[in-house]
Amino acid sequence: MVKMAVIRGLLRVLIAALAGLGLLMTVVTFTPLASWYARRLAGSWDDARGDVLIVVAAERIDGDTLGLSSYWRSVYAGRAWRAGGFRRVVVAGAGVAPLIRDFLVGHGVPADAITLEEASTSTRENALNVARLLSGTPGTKVLLTSDYHMFRARQAFRKAGLDVRPRPFPDAIKQCNHYIGRWPAFAGLVVESGKIVYYFWRGWI
């Protein structure tokens, strides 16, 4: 009898867990929850202009291919440059920065206008290293990164002593344009939320 009661209890827990997961998947797939949260993390959407454009790299594939977020950051960095106003681009990220530079050069950004920071392997290191690199450099600095990444990145740069204006672009939001992409976007937002909590805990933002 005790064994059967334990089994029934476990079954009830399992059923409740599956029901909760189903409800979550339904909400994420058929509501604007993920895109709403991405917009909250992105902050201002005014396409900030300035003198120095800072581009934070993301992932790469097979060593020499831009990952999806890195690709979109490259695309929007090129668009920002062509819109006019920027005199210099700083690309930060070990292993990925040269790939983004090559992309930008291929899309009209002069090679001599691009500076690479190739030692950083995290958002915090991006901020610290770029802050050192641009120490004493006059002009307005603009940070370009994915919508979901902007909050943590901007706060990390401020903590490192570099005031930046945000220029987010729709990354997770772009995925949410089709219901099939909303669950992967939501999963990425959950991971980013964990990183935000960790950065707060470490005092990095």
pLDDT in tens, 64-78: 899 989 999 999 999
Q: Kindly state whether residue 196 falls inside one of the protein's structural domains.
A: no
139 near 51, Cβ under 8 Å? yes
- Total Cβ atoms within 10 A of residue 121: 11
Q: Kindly state whether residue 198 falls inside one of the protein's structural domains.
A: no
One-letter amino acid identity for 88? R
Q: What is the DSSP letter of 31?
A: S
Residues in Cβ contact with 193 at an 8 Å cutoff, skipping those fewer than 6 apart: none
Sheet strands (E) in 9-119: 52-56, 60-61, 65-66, 88-92, 114-117
Give the span between the Cα atoms of 81 and 7, in whole angstroms. 63
Q: Kindly state whether residue 70 falls inside one of the protein's structural domains.
A: yes
Give the span between the Cα atoms of 142 and 130, in whole angstroms. 12
Give the span between the Cα atoms of 80 and 69, in whole angstroms. 16
One-letter amino acid identity for 149? H
Which has the minimum average pLDDT: 26-30, 97-101, 162-166? Answer: 26-30
Predicted TM-score (pTM) of this structure? 0.85
Give the span between the Cα atoms of 178 and 35, in whole angstroms. 11
169 near 45, Cβ under 8 Å? no
Q: Give 123-153 pLDDT, tens digit per residue.
A: 999 999 999 999 989 999 999 999 999 999 9
Q: Kindly state whether residue 69 falls inside one of the protein's structural domains.
A: yes
Say how many domains are in the chain: 1
Looking up residue 119, the CATH number of its domain turns out to be 3.40.50.620
Q: Kindly state whether residue 6 falls inside one of the protein's structural domains.
A: no
Give the span between the Cα atoms of 48 and 141, in whole angstroms. 9
pLDDT at 178: 74
Residues in Cβ contact with 63 at an 8 Å cutoff, skipping those fewer than 6 apart: 95
19 against 99, higher pLDDT: 99
Q: What is the DSSP letter of 111?
A: G
- Domain enclosing residue 45, as ranges: 40-174
Average per-residue pLDDT for the chain: 86
Within the chain, what is the greatest distance between any pair of CA atoms?
78
Q: What is the CA radius of gyration of the chain?
A: 20
Q: Kindly state whether residue 180 falls inside one of the protein's structural domains.
A: no
pLDDT confidence of 18, banded at 50, 70, 90? Answer: very low
Average pLDDT, stretch 87-93? 97
pLDDT at 35: 81
Q: Kindly state whether residue 83 falls inside one of the protein's structural domains.
A: yes
